[in-house]
Structure 1
Amino acid sequence: MSKLFNKVIYFESLDSTNNYIKRLYKRFSLKSNLMVVANYQSNGRGTMGKKWFSDRNSLSFSFSVLTNSQINPWKINMLVSVVLIKVLSDLGLQAMIKYPNDIIINNKKIAGILTEVISVNMLKYCITGVGLNINNTCFPFELKKAISIKQLTSNDIDKDDLINIINRELELYYSKINEIKKIYFSHLHGSSSYVPSFLKGKLTNMKILDLNSKGYLTVSTSEKNKEVVKYSDVSFILN
């Protein structure tokens, strides 16, 4: 039994693990954290309404966490990012975080994170969806920047074993969630050097100097301008 989640539910197929959790909360007014894992998603979602590609070779799961003054959606985003970095590192893969919600290896996307907030009986829950490419050997033509664990290691990954490992790491890092910013920042693409980016629609080279508790970045551009920006203001270009 997970200490962080009161229940872990497995499905062969769902439209979206995030959508399923939201439906459960709205229908039954749940008051506990839970995790939902699907072997296949027919309508996986990314940020800003984008569709997230997933098939039976991908790992798709979502979980809910009650938010409070100490736990906000951005901290959950950092938590999941750090856990995925750790799990991939244990597999011999050195990954980076592409702000705000992608995990990349060799400038290709291996995982994505979606966080949403719902209100149930005056309580707010953060619903976090994760898609991780594990045993994929090919992707649709338009996803040229996608990559999987199998493509990088030539090894097949057992989904059940992997979700158990992720669950264990989530519990571990959740217990010290207020200490993970340093780990997150050390793996953040663009935190150690200037990288090609769009800042408010303008092409530039940008370096991340800091981030605050809401996930806003303090950045410096190649023109030596310094400002605080939110995720919708910036887009990092992967070569």
Structure 2
Amino acid sequence: MTPIIYLKECASTNDEILHFLKSDQTAFPAVYTFNQKKGKGQYGNSWESAADINLAFTLAVPSALIKMPTHLFNFHTAAAVADFLAIMTNMQPEIKWPNDIIIKNKKVAGLLLEKKTAAGISYFILGIGLNVLQKSFPNLPKAGSLLTQTGNEFNLHEIANDLHIYLQHFLIKETSENEVLGNLNNWLFRKNKISVFEIKGVRQNGIIKEVDPEGFLRVDLENEGLQRFYHKEIELLY
């Protein structure tokens, strides 16, 4: 049976899982906690999470099993989490490029994909922060939880175990790079809608068109026409 380990508290599940990986590891082990002290977000950011009401979950995937570029696997994992939440909530989540999960215009989950070596084996370390039971976010106006966005309460342990099972099946399914990119663009937040963006401190209107095969976001800007952007080069204001 693939192990999933509950930690009463920890600094970061993405760091803690390295202690549980073995040289003969073939399964997808996971660790989770409801009390993460120093959660990590994308590009050096931190992931803030209130204790005992939210989930911090990390899955280790042997990189030898993944037959696609890292940026596409990043999108693939975002689609997996969105699909899981769609089934669980009976709602339509969206993916805010590159891999935040949005429900009803609020961010409920963030992903962090890292590549690390443990016990001589290379892994993709997939960290997921999921807001579950938190009722208010006074310093994070764009954040929400499954409770605030659906009105339903969920059991934290059940979510962790169900997510572990679902990800294992989803991530090993045979798929093509075109399918991965197509799934991302189908889930894409604010696609084909007029939105406000900030680029180098300047705001202007634009329309998200798609994410291209290299992972760039293509935006049709009001003043500059169709442009492509990499992470941190553009900010969507919503």
TM-score, scaled to structure 1 = 0.84
Following superposition, the deviation at residue 34 of structure 1 comes to: 2.2
Q: Aligned with 2:123: secondary structure?
A: strand
1:89 and 2:117 equivalent? no
Cα displacement string for residues 18-66 of structure 1 (whole angstroms, at most 9, x for unaligned residues) = 11124556xx667544211112111112123222122211011011223
Identify the residue that residue 109 of structure 1 maps to in structure 2: 107
Of 128, 131, 156 in structure 2, the residue corresponding to residue 130 of structure 1 is 128
Q: d(CA) in 1 for partners of 2:75 and 2:82?
A: 11
Following superposition, the deviation at residue 78 of structure 1 comes to: 1.8
Q: Aligned with 2:85: secondary structure?
A: helix
Q: d(CA) in 2 for partners of 1:226 and 1:52?
A: 32
Q: 2:102·2:108 contact (CA, 8 Å) conserved in 1?
A: yes
1:216 and 2:216 equivalent? yes
Q: 1:190·1:206 contact (CA, 8 Å) conserved in 2?
A: no
Identify the residue that residue 7 of structure 1 maps to in structure 2: 3
Of 14, 21, 26 in structure 2, the residue corresponding to residue 18 of structure 1 is 14
Identity %: 26
Q: Aligned with 1:13: secondary structure?
A: coil
Which residue type is aligned with residue 67 of structure 1?
Answer: S
Which residue type is aligned with residue 43 of structure 1?
Answer: K
1:49 and 2:44 equivalent? yes
Equivalences, count: 231
Q: 1:24·1:30 contact (CA, 8 Å) conserved in 2?
A: no
Indicate the larger mover: 7-16 or 213-222.
213-222
Identify the residue that residue 231 of structure 2 maps to in structure 1: 231
Q: d(CA) in 1 for partners of 2:204 and 2:210?
A: 18
Q: CA RMSD in A?
A: 2.5
Identify the residue that residue 173 of structure 1 maps to in structure 2: 170
1:62 and 2:58 equivalent? yes
Q: d(CA) in 2 for partners of 1:233 and 1:124?
A: 30
Q: 1:15·1:42 contact (CA, 8 Å) conserved in 2?
A: yes
Cα displacement string for residues 90-138 of structure 1 (whole angstroms, at most 9, x for unaligned residues) = 2133221111221122322111111122245775422111011111123
TM-score, scaled to structure 2 = 0.84
Q: 1:136·1:148 contact (CA, 8 Å) conserved in 2?
A: yes
Identify the residue that residue 99 of structure 1 maps to in structure 2: 97
Following superposition, the deviation at residue 85 of structure 1 comes to: 2.0
Structure 1 unmatched runs, 5+: none
Following superposition, the deviation at residue 234 of structure 1 comes to: 1.7
Name the CA shift for 1:233/1:169 in 2 (closer, same or farther; >3 Å).
Answer: same
